[in-house]
Amino acid sequence: MLRKYESGASKRRLKKEREEMVAKLPKMTNFFSSNQTIMQFPQTVDNNKNNERKDENSNTENEVACQGPSNEIQEVESVESTMHNNELDSDTILREDPALWPLQLKENERMKYLNKGYAFFQNKDSNYEFSKRMFKIQYRYYSVKYFQKVMNNGEKCDRKWLMFSVSTGCVFCYVCKLFSTDYDNVLVKSGFYNWIKAKQTIFGHENSKERIQCMIKWIEFIKQNTHVDEYMVSQIKKEFNYWSEILNRIVAVIRFLAGRGLVFRGHNEVIGSSNNGNYLGMLELLTQFDPVLKQHIDTFANKGKGFNAHITEIKKTKYWEIIVDSTPDISHVDQLSVVFRYYLNGHVYERFFCFLQIKSHDGKSLITDILDLLERYDIDIINCRGQAYDNASNMSGKYSGLQARLKERSELAFYISCAGHSLNLVGQCSVSECINSINYFGVLQSFYSFFVASTHRWDLLKGNHATLKRLSDTQWSCRSDASKSLVENFDGIHAALCHIAEDTEEKSDTRHEALCLLNKITN
């Protein structure tokens, strides 16, 4: 059973460690005196070599002179000793030096170290003189360079998990000290100081399974109040409110001009021009009194301005995901909509980029068009980290699909299939295995087709306070809407069919078709 409080021996040991650490600190007078003396440190200082300091990536520099504790430091020590003598609860004290942490943290202690954050314990700006170790014929020191990791692409990222102990001159792992149960690990128990093997040891620990698991626990703690779904809902709500405000202003201007029969367009469509017409002119006028509209126009006004801003953001953030889908427009021209998704300044953005006219839907042709587009705007394909399409074979094909061809050029561009399209395919495939379901949805579509084919029939349906919804081949939710509409408007649909079937002025084919549908709806 674990002890709920520290023993007297443990408290005395911690007090002794603090006294030794304070004794190693330099006097204030040393920084103002030209005559400096060197005191001997355990395992660190050579009295005969005051000018020698060799690091892995530095030559020589003078050692820092230190003497015993000053009066001020002794007073601080006395206060801390009094606090311990009064048996102050040890878990209320946050020790900046990781070597002084308890080996097995209690839950309330762990939470306080977590809430304080890693930066408080890293001791980046400490005096690395205490890390001095003799290896064969030369001294080696810990270097600040180990707080950064150089990636394969040349980028540098901080090692937030690494901590330096001033009292022992060793390094510890922040996340493993908090979450690991491997108390024999040198980066948890006593600290690492073999600087000859520092690079491979730190790199090896960084990629170890134990550290990765502890890192995941730390990230989960940080993100416990900022879940991804909550963030996305908040972002969507913010975007919705913003565009609703803009749309309200635009609709108000359109209603004003249309109600008075005024011309909308001018000789050009340039914000700031005196010939841009009534519509843009009124919007410009409103910006003088409306800060929301002013900000919007300043950001997006004039053709190409927002597009160029998106290109700048994509290049600034460096890594991005591409989302594409093809659809023909009203003029029957097949176009590929291109969207970029990226993370910038703490936010995730999905920006529509352009419509790209395509000639073929096969993977080879699509990858050629996309690569040409990226090259045209100087966007490096090697920085692509994700690609999202539907599940069509030309997109998702494992060997010749667009995702496979793009991954040949950027192996880290992971493919993510559209969840909505996947769910839609599940619904279609499930229904295709059931004859009754096929017949049911066929009847639903025939009802809609019969009434929508004639304005006269549709008016009869509306006269009975009923309506129908069409089925969609791509959106499975439309089938739910169509079924709901049939249930809610059953009596009206039945009455309209009876009227058409009994009307002698209707064509015989129409009456026959209405009678067949009437039999189906009553079956």
HEC string of 83-144 equals HHHCCCCHHHCCCCCHHHCCCCCCHHHHHHHHHHCCHHHHCCCCCHHHHCEEECCEEECCCH
- Which of 324, 316, 377 minimizes the C-alpha distance to 347? 316
CA distances from 294 to 118, 249, 254, 264, 305 (A): 42, 11, 18, 20, 15
**Averaged over 187-214, what is the pLDDT?**
91
Residue linked to tokens 């809430």:
115
- Which of 10, 167, 189, 169 minimizes the C-alpha distance to 96? 167
The CB-based long-range contact list for 181-184 (8 Å cut-off, 24+ gap) reads: 182/210, 183/103, 183/104
Q: Count the neighbouring beta carbons within 10 Å of the beta carbon of residue 203.
A: 12
Under a CB-based contact definition with an 8 Å cutoff, are residues 338 and 311 in contact?
no
pLDDT at residue 439 in the model: 87
Q: What angle do CA 58, 59, 65 make, to 5 degrees?
A: 95
pLDDT at residue 369 in the model: 92
pLDDT at residue 136 in the model: 81
CA distance 287 to 298: 9
Beta strands in 165-294 (DSSP E): 171-173
**Token digits for 41?**
């440190």
- Which of 372, 373, 365, 413 minimizes the C-alpha distance to 389? 413
pLDDT at residue 213 in the model: 92
CA distance 370 to 410: 13
Task: Give yes or no for residue 17 having a pLDDT over 80.
Answer: no
Question: Has this prediction a pTM greater than 0.85?
Answer: no
Q: Which helix (H) or strand (E) holds 39?
A: none
Provide the CA 367 distance to its chain's centre, in angstroms.
Answer: 26
Local structure of residue 506 (DSSP, 8 states): S
CA distance 287 to 106: 59
pLDDT at residue 386 in the model: 94
Q: Which helix (H) or strand (E) holds 371?
A: helix 363-376
Q: What is the pLDDT of residues 59-72, one digit of tens each?
A: 333 333 333 333 33
pLDDT at residue 210 in the model: 92
CA distance 218 to 110: 11
Higher pLDDT, 201 or 74: 201
Amino acid at 498: C
Task: Give yes or no for residue 372 having a pLDDT over 50.
Answer: yes
Who contacts 42 (Cβ-Cβ below 8 Å, separation ≥6)?
Answer: none
CA distances from 84 to 80, 104, 121, 300 (A): 6, 20, 22, 63
Mean pLDDT lowest for which of 98-112, 147-161, 275-289, 466-480?
Answer: 466-480
Mean pLDDT lowest for which of 230-239, 246-255, 418-427, 466-475?
Answer: 230-239
Sheet arrangement for strand 320-328 = 347-357, 334-344, 320-328, 384-389, 414-417
pLDDT over 70, % of the chain: 82
pLDDT at residue 93 in the model: 64
First to last CA, the chain: 73
Q: What is the pLDDT of residues 205-254, one digit of tens each?
A: 999 999 999 999 988 887 775 555 666 677 788 888 999 999 999 999 99
Under a CB-based contact definition with an 8 Å cutoff, are residues 494 and 486 in contact?
no
Residues facing residue 417 across a β-bridge: 389
CA distance 288 to 295: 11
Q: Quote the crossing angle between the two packed helices 435-452 and 508-521, to the nearest 10°.
A: 140
Amino acid at 134: M
pLDDT at residue 236 in the model: 80
Mean pLDDT lowest for which of 90-99, 436-445, 509-518?
Answer: 90-99
Q: Which of 76-80, 266-270, 419-423 has the highest mean pLDDT?
A: 266-270
Provide the CA 80 distance to its chain's centre, in angstroms.
Answer: 44
Phi and psi angles of residue 237, each rounded to the nearest 5 degrees, phi first: -65, -40
CA distance 468 to 490: 10
CA distance 211 to 205: 7
Sign of CA dihedral 234, 240, 243, 248: negative
Residue linked to tokens 């667009």:
402
Average pLDDT in the chain: 81
CA distances from 385 to 35, 323, 486 (A): 59, 11, 46
Q: Count the neighbouring beta carbons within 10 Å of the beta carbon of residue 283.
A: 20
Helix (H, G, I), strand (E, B) or coil at 192: strand
Residue length of the chain: 523
Task: Give yes or no for residue 43 having a pLDDT over 50.
Answer: no
